[in-house]
């Protein structure tokens, strides 16, 4: 039975492979790939996520890398989303703009206690 379980786990490690979590300073290396972009929101948030799309900019959570990634997002926006918050959004980098999968925006809860998120 343990062997069967081990096989299962190996299967997920190889086949599943998960989705990589990338920060703005390294996302350019993954242009065209489906990744999870992890960063902190900076600057002004514009647009409507239910119309043409919401636009915001992400920088690295840690460190002082100058890299900034523009994100175009549509779908539900979690309560806690605003400038200065750490977020994770799934999508692909195209022509310099990170196009997000609708509804994949997740905000890290600052008190590290409850999962504050919006999922479909």
Partner 1 sequence: MADLGRAALLLSLGLVAYALVGGSLAAWKRRRRLALSAQNALIAAFATTLVAAVVLVVACARRDLSFVYVAQHTSRSLPLGYALSAFWGGQEGSLLLWLLVLTGYSALAVWLNRRSRDLIAWTVPVLGGVAVFFAFMLCFVSSPFETAAAPADGAGMVPSLQNPYMLAHPPMLYLGYVGLTIPFAFAMGALLAKRTDERWIIVTRRWTLAAWTFLGVGQLLGAHWAYVEIGWGGYYAWDPVENAALMPWLASTAFLHSVMIQEKRGMLKVWNVTLVALAFCLSIFGTFLTRSGVVNSIHSFSQSPLGGWFLGFIALVTVFSVALIYIRLPLLRARTRLESLVSREATFLYNNLLLVALALTILWGVVYPLLTQAVNGTTRSVSKPYYDFFLHSFGLPLLLLMGIGPLVAWRRASLRALGRTFVIPAAVAVVTGGALIGAGFGSSKAGLLTYTFSAFVAASIALEFVRGRRAAGSLRRLVGRNRRRYGGYIVHAAVVLLAIGIAGSSAYQTIRERSLRQGQSMQVAGYTLTYASLGTRQLQNAQETSATVEVSRGGSHVTTLHPGKSWFPVEQSASNDVSIYHDPRNLGDVYTIADGISKNGTLDLKVLVKPLVNLVWAAGFVFVFGALVAMWPDAVEQRRLVERYATAPA
Site residues for partner 1 per CB under 8 A: 1, 5, 8-9, 12, 16-22, 36, 38, 48-51, 61-62, 76-80, 82, 86, 88, 108-120
Closer CB to partner 1, 95 or 113, in the complex: 113
Closer CB to partner 1, 32 or 95, in the complex: 32
Inter-residue contact 21 to 38 (CB < 8 Å): yes
Can you tell me the distance from the alpha carbon of 70 to that of 23, in angstroms, rounded to the nearest whole number? 12
Question: Taking phi first (over 0 means left), then psi (-120 to 50 degrees means alpha), and beta for anything else, what does residue 67 get?
Answer: beta
Q: What is the closest distance, in whole angstroms, from the C-beta atom of residue 36 to partner 1 in the complex? A: 7
Inter-residue contact 59 to 39 (CB < 8 Å): yes
Q: What is the closest distance, in whole angstroms, from the C-beta atom of residue 57 to partner 1 in the complex? A: 19
Closer CB to partner 1, 99 or 116, in the complex: 116
Those residues with Cβ within 8 angstroms of residue 1's Cβ, 6 or more apart along the chain or in another chain: none
Inter-residue contact 30 to 23 (CB < 8 Å): no
Closer CB to partner 1, 18 or 66, in the complex: 18
Q: What is the closest distance, in whole angstroms, from the C-beta atom of residue 85 to partner 1 in the complex? A: 9
């Amino acid at each position: 039975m343990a062997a069967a379980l081990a096989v299962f786990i190996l299967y997920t490690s190889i086949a599943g492979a998960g989705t990589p979590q990338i920060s703005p300073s390294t996302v350019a290396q993954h242009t065209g790939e489906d990744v999870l972009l992890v960063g902190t929101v900076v600057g002004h948030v514009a647009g409507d996520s239910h119309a043409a799309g919401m636009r915001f900019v992400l920088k690295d959570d840690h460190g002082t890398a100058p890299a900034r990634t523009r994100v175009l997002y549509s779908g539900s926006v979690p309560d806690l989303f605003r400038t200065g918050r750490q977020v994770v959004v799934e999508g692909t980098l195209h022509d310099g703009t990170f196009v997000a999968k609708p509804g994949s925006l997740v905000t890290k809860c600052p008190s590290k206690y409850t999962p504050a998120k919006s999922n479909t």
